[in-house]
Structure 1
Amino acid sequence: MITLAIIAVTVLVSWQAFGNPRLLERLILWPPAISGAKQYDRLITHGFIHADWQHLLFNMITLFFFGRFAEQLITQMIGPVGFALFYLSAIVVAIMPTYLRHKGDRNYRSLGASGAVSAVLFAFILVKPWSLIFVFFLPVPAILYGVFFVGYSFWMDRSGGGRTNHSAHLSGAIYGVLFVLMLNPAIGSHFLRELLSPSFG
């Protein structure tokens, strides 16, 4: 239910921001507004707005398919509020390297839930590395997708390619793994056992 609530709020806020430039400008991650005007809420609000419907739908569809499992996993360990805290903290943690890098850049802006969604996705991969996920309608083992995702994001972040915030993707993925391992270190052993016993499905 928390996953569905997050999706509903994100869709509603993004939809409102699509037609309201003033709202978009107030919620977007703009580093000078945080460091200068102390608008720290932007570290979270940027995760509830998106550039367009395609951007929004991609993130929310991914969250729908993997968030429900991550929510169940984390709820079993720290209760239902735990997943909400995980998701909101992932938004902040994923964007922090970007914010620190562009702290004085008045021309930089970032938006979208991609960092938090990456955290959710990699929490799933940690527990079910050989599950098949569909990438452009092709079934791919989750662990292979994860390796490609990290490598591609790292390369694109280093090369400065595109308008996508690849740094947030990387930070979110790392945070998702570390968060789950901190709650239950035994999942690390489970992950290694799973890697050594491929079972597609």
Structure 2
Amino acid sequence: MRKNLNPDGTLVSEYINGSEHALEVLIKRHQQRLYSFIYSKVQDRDITEDIFQDTFIKVIRTLKKGNYNEEGKFLPWVMRISQNLIIDHFRKSNRMPSFKNTDEFDIFSVLSDGNLNAEKKLIKEQIYSDVKLLVEELPEDQKEVLIMRMYKDMSFKEISENTGVSINTALGRMRYALINLRKIIEKNKIILVN
């Protein structure tokens, strides 16, 4: 793998310290990948161009305010910004379902629809990545059951056999995991509500 002359982190620091050229290098370095990513979601060149520009406006503002702290993870951070802008675009054009966080709300019901159009698929991906981060905050036993069930698609019988607990205990842990996840979601205001 060819090493970049200057790692992203170095260029970010140089830009924060006043080097406009460092930002140009960063934009050129990631332009193609970011542009392709945005286009794959919106399927429109003009909208892609707008979102691409808005992404870097947001990047510049964040860097200038000194709010950037993603050590060495510049590209994933920029991709997240563009993904949020894509979601905003779909929300503004009323093409995105909103998820109300009610007592009946089950985060995973959103993830199980097999007939997802591009926008819903994007929301699904966004929620999945948000949820994956939040799952890390769960107690170990709940996290284990939830990962086996949701990400490894294991039955409660299989989970019971793998963890050495009864099916009822596995079900209970899953229930508590979902309750705690909902609390974490509310605390982090993850759900997109119109």
TM superposition score normalised by structure 1: 0.28
Structure ID, larger Rg:
2
User: Which of 1 and 2 has higher RCO (CA within 8 Å, sep 6+)?
Assistant: 1
TM superposition score normalised by structure 2: 0.28
